[in-house]
Structure 1
Amino acid sequence: MDTLLVQAAKATPSPEGRSHSGETNPQDAPTLSLVICTLDEHEAIGGVLRELDQHLGGIRHEIIVVDDSADSRTADAVAAYAADHPQVRLVRRYMASGLSSAAIKGWDVATGHILAIMDGDGQHDPALIRSLLEKLAEPDTDLAVASRYLDDARSGLYGLRHRLSRTGTWLTDVTLGVPLADPLSGCFAMTRDWYAHVRRNLSGLGFKILIDVVASGARKPQAAQIPTLLRARTGGESKLDTRVIIDLMALLIEKRTQGRFTAAALMAGMAASSALCLQWLALGVLLKLAAPLWLAMLLSASVGLAGRFGVLLLTTPRSRRPANAHQLLRQWRGFCLHRWSDVPLNAGFAVALCLAHCPWPIAALAGLLLAESRYHLGGLAGVKA
């Protein structure tokens, strides 16, 4: 993944602002570093930056926009605004996705004493940031969150999105016991000390960065909350899709098990389990139809591989999914190129085991495990599934 830090006006801090250890010199650092993660939000980001300029008057701050858009429209809008506002910085990421990893990238290059985040689509009221700073001024407070559901059950969302949000909040509370009314909030601020405390354990998975920040410490943070409702989006579109839901579930399991089951391992296990179930199903049908054993194994292993590709598509962020049949075919060819060894290894080993009187379900499982080992140990993991 190539990362480009684009200097907007005089945005990049001078080397004198950092000590030899890489830390920001306290007297040169701004009070606030606000990260805004964007994905195709060129219509909204200019208005968000203008509102922030009105509400952050008198506060020494920097705004770091981390853009994952495929085109340059959002970056161009930020650069145009930054030309007259040197406190605005732009980080463009290529072939990367996910709000959590983007937020971490922004905080890693930030220089402020307080680190904050909000959306770039206009749903978060910029006036919230000053209120969050006031909460962090209270003694021993590590984290301040703009929480939906703090005063009532409203969120500013409607229909399915509201129900999914409430379900996600309930699951997080049950799984982790996070002491927040809205652990899925995308608008919050924290002290630099708390970020340093959790940084090494952050997974950077998905879009729910607050869960990562709260659940990655050796202790629970001392948190303050302010009530909020989401406003109407002024640009971009909802990022909610199957990948967001899967990422949330994997993140909750990783944090609940304190990293013993990582999100990456869970995703790989889900893909392998899906492939195995489809292979078993196809193999059972083919053997029932009296297909030759070698042919049944080859075809069923191919079905399992196709199922793995389907899981890969479901777990790919929407912005990077193929937009048409040509792109889909090209991605399928690339996937097969990286997983070329799966079918012959899987089917060949399974057939050999069956000839040695091994039950076919166990033989198919062993074949899949061998192919999986060859894929990872052989250095063919260019495309992860």
Structure 2
Amino acid sequence: MLSLVICTLDEHEAIGGVLSELDEHLQDINHEIIVVDDSTDERTANVVHAYALAHPQVRLLRRYKASGLSSAAIKGWDIARGRILAIMDGDGQHDPAMIRALLQKLSDPNIDVAVASRYLDDSRSGLNGLRHRISRTGTWLTDIMLGVPLVDPLSGCFAMTREWYTQVRRELSGLGFKILIDVVASGSRRPHTAQAPTLLRARAGGASKLDTRVIIDLMTLLIEKRTRGRFTAAAVMNGAAVFSTLCMQWLSLGVLLKLAIPIWLAMLLSVSFGLAGRFAIDHIMTPRSLRPRTFQGACRQWLAFYASRWSDIPLNACFALALCGVHCPWTVAVLGGVLLAESRYHLTQRAGVSA
């Protein structure tokens, strides 16, 4: 009847207790639990595997060098066998009793998606300080941009019918951590929803996943869904990275020219500064779990980035200098150089992937 997906990231301290609580609440329901683990080590997987030896309804899917709750949830649902597909966190913040409440909501044949909603009966969320304010801001933005009929479209605990998942599966972006937005905004119509009130509990293990990448993912996902895929999240993020490169190169070139540096040298240096801006944005857009954890690792990543983009320096600079030579304003020349270098890079990447 039920396939419940739990996505974990370094939550070995909490996942055993969550599975035990679920066993109590779901013991009279024909169900399976699929744990999709993206942890950086094997401790979470070991806890799940040990629990599954005595509880055959628990299955483990281990992913390596992957990140993002949304893509993990989709992986789990794709291999699920239940009529009802659900999701909750593995850090203990979601009350396992909510799963039964969501199943009761879905007993109505007119309901497609049932959500455990903060803010339904209470303005509190169970979050503290900055995280609460960010959650409320994200909820407001989602309502403004998508008009999703939910008081808590950022909830991470919900259930849906297999029929609804089948309808939206091809349109899911799998981006970031807010899978509910993806699920309710990807259909040809808005789903019929039901909500059950909840508050988050204290986290029993793991750490908050909130970082700059989560916020970027939310904003770009909203843009993608609002434009019905005309501007994809990946395209928006790449556009932001190119714009940062351009701004850094404009700024540095303007300063160098003011210092009376020869234009050929100023252009070469400005391209290097532009790439530094691109690297900084790429770092911010990288999920925290995939970022280097040591200074040496960060240095290796920086060197690898410049090794992959070194040809941008002569290509960008020479093209921009050629445009300046025919009396093109240097601001426009820089734009042309950046666009040429980006086009070359992406064409090379596509050729490499195809090969």
In structure 2, the residue matched to 1:91 is 61
CA distance in 2, matches of 1:201, 1:160: 32
TM superposition shift of 1:344 = 1.1
State the shift of 1:67 in Å.
Answer: 0.3
Q: Which residue in 1 is equivalent to 2:221?
A: 251
Distance 2:215 2:56 in 1: 37
Residue 337 of structure 1 pairs with residue 307 of structure 2? yes
Runs of 4+ in 1 over 3 A off after TM superposition: 380-383
Q: Which amino acid in 1 is paired with 2:209?
A: K
- The residue aligned with 1:311 is 281
Secondary structure at 1:40's aligned position in 2? Answer: coil
CA distance in 2, matches of 1:129, 1:194: 18
**Inter-partner Cα distance in structure 2 for 1:359 and 1:87:** 67
Contact kept, 8 Å, 1:339 with 1:380, in 2: the verdict is no
8 Å contact from structure 1 (residues 338, 381) kept in 2: no
Say whether 1:34 aligns with 2:4.
yes
> Are positions 1:159 and 2:129 aligned together?
yes
Partner of 2:173: 203
Matched, 1:172 2:149: no
Change (3 A) 1:308 1:263: same
Contact kept? 1:338, 1:380, Cα under 8 Å: no
Corresponding residue of 2:156: 186
Query: Separation in 2 of the partners of 1:93 and 1:297?
Result: 44
**Structure 1, residues 10-59: CA drift from partner, whole Å, max 9, x if none?**
xxxxxxxxxxxxxxxxxxxxx00000000000000000000000000110
**Alpha-carbon shift at residue 338 of structure 1 (Å):** 1.7
Between the aligned partners of 1:382 and 1:306, the Cα distance in structure 2 is 24
Q: Secondary structure at the match of 1:379?
A: helix
TM-score computed with the length of structure 1 as normaliser: 0.91
Q: Residue 77 in 1 paired to residue 10 in 2?
A: no
Q: CA deviation at 1:381?
A: 8.5
State the percentage of identical aligned residues: 75
Amino acid at match of 1:305: L
2:316 corresponds to 1:346 = yes
Distance (whole Å) between structure 2 residues aligned to residue 240 and residue 258 of structure 1? 26
Unaligned 5+ residue runs, structure 1? Answer: 1-30
Q: How many Å apart are 1:354 and its aligned residue?
A: 0.5
- Which residue does the alignment assign to 2:259? 289
Give the match for residue 8 of structure 1: none
Matching of residue 276 in structure 1 with residue 240 in structure 2: no
Aligned to 2:199: 229
- What is the CA-CA distance between 1:382 and the residue it aligns to? 7.7
The alpha-carbon deviation at position 380 of structure 1 amounts to: 6.7
Separation in structure 1 between the aligned mates of residue 42 and residue 134 of structure 2, nearest angstrom: 32
Corresponding residue to 1:328 among 295, 298, 304: 298
Distance 1:160 1:381, change over 3 A: farther
Q: Which runs of 5+ in 2 are unaligned?
A: none
The one of 32, 38, 51 equivalent to 1:68 is 38
Tell whether the 8 Å contact from 1:145 to 1:223 is kept in structure 2 after alignment: yes
Structure number having the greater helix percentage: 2
Q: Distance in 2 between matches of 1:258 and 1:152?
A: 33
Aligned partners of 1:54 and 1:106: how far apart in 2? 22
Report what 1:114 is aligned to: 84
What SS class does the counterpart of residue 296 from structure 2 fall into? helix
Q: Provide the TM-score with structure 2 as the length reference.
A: 0.98
SS at match of 1:225: strand
Whole-Å separation in 2 of the counterparts to 1:167 and 1:382: 41
SS at match of 2:196: strand
2:274 maps to a residue whose letter is G
> Could you tell which deviates more after superposition, 184-193 or 289-298?
289-298
Say which SS state the counterpart of residue 83 (structure 1) adopts.
Answer: helix
Q: Tell me which residue corresponds to 1:23.
A: none
Cα distance in 1 for residues equivalent to 2:348 and 2:328 = 27
2:90 matches 1:123:
no
Q: In the TM superposition, what is the alpha-carbon distance from 1:322 to its structure 2 partner? A: 1.3
Offset of residue 111 of structure 1: 0.6
Amino acid at match of 1:308: R
Identify which range, 324-333 or 224-233, moves more after superposition.
Answer: 324-333
User: 1:82-106 CA distances to partner (integer Å, 9 max, x unpaired)?
Assistant: 0000000000111110000000000
Deviation readout 1:241-273 (Å, 9 max, x if unpaired): 000000000000000000000000001000000
Count of matched residue positions in the alignment of Structure 1 and Structure 2: 353
The CA deviation at 1:172 is 0.2
Report the Cα distance in structure 1 between the residues aligned to 2:30 and 2:306, rounded to whole angstroms: 52
